[in-house]
Amino acid sequence: MIRKINHVGIAVSNLDAAVKLYSEVLGLKVSGIETIEEQKVKSAMIPIGESKIELMESTDPEGPIGKFIAKRGEGIHHISLEADDIEKMLAKLSNAGIELIDKKPRIGAGGSKIAFVHPKGMRGVLLELTSKK
C-alpha cells in the first residue's frame, strides 16, 4: 500500500546554491546532506510537513543526475512514493506489466530501501518507491 508522497527529487547543478535558495529565500531547513556513492549523487533533504524535497547534485557527469541535467537541464527528476512493503509493490507493478528499472530494492538516501519504476509505465513520470523497512 502507498502511504504518501515521500519526496520530490530535483536535479540541480550546484547543491550549495540550491540549498541556499531553499533555505534563505523560502525559509526551509535542510535535515541532512549525504553522498550516495552507488548513485553518484550528493543529496540534501528538506522536510516540508509529511513530505520532503530532495535536491540532488551529480558527483559524476556519467551518473544518472549528470546525464539528466545534460539532456534536460535542472528540474524535477522524480516523485517518490512511500510504500508499506516495497517488494510487494514491485511484484504488483511487474504483474501488471509495468516496466521496472529496479526489480529489487537497493539502498538510497538515509539508508531507506528504494526502487525505480520506468517512466514508460507511469505516463512519463520517473517514480521511486521507498520504504524504511
Percent of the chain with pLDDT over 90: 95
Percent of the chain with pLDDT over 70: 99
Which stretches does DSSP call E strand in the chain?
Answer: 2-12, 32-36, 41-48, 51-58, 75-83, 106-107, 113-117, 127-131
Task: Reply yes or no on whether the pLDDT at 40 is more than 70.
Answer: yes
> Which single residue is written with the C-alpha cell 518507491?
129
pLDDT at 132: 82
Average pLDDT across the chain, whole number: 96
What pLDDT digit, counting tens, does each position of 41-73 carry? 999 999 999 999 999 999 999 999 999 999 999
Task: Reply yes or no on whether the pLDDT at 133 is more than 80.
Answer: no
Superfamily the domain 2-131 falls into = 2,3-Dihydroxybiphenyl 1,2-Dioxygenase, domain 1 (3.10.180.10)
pLDDT at 43: 97
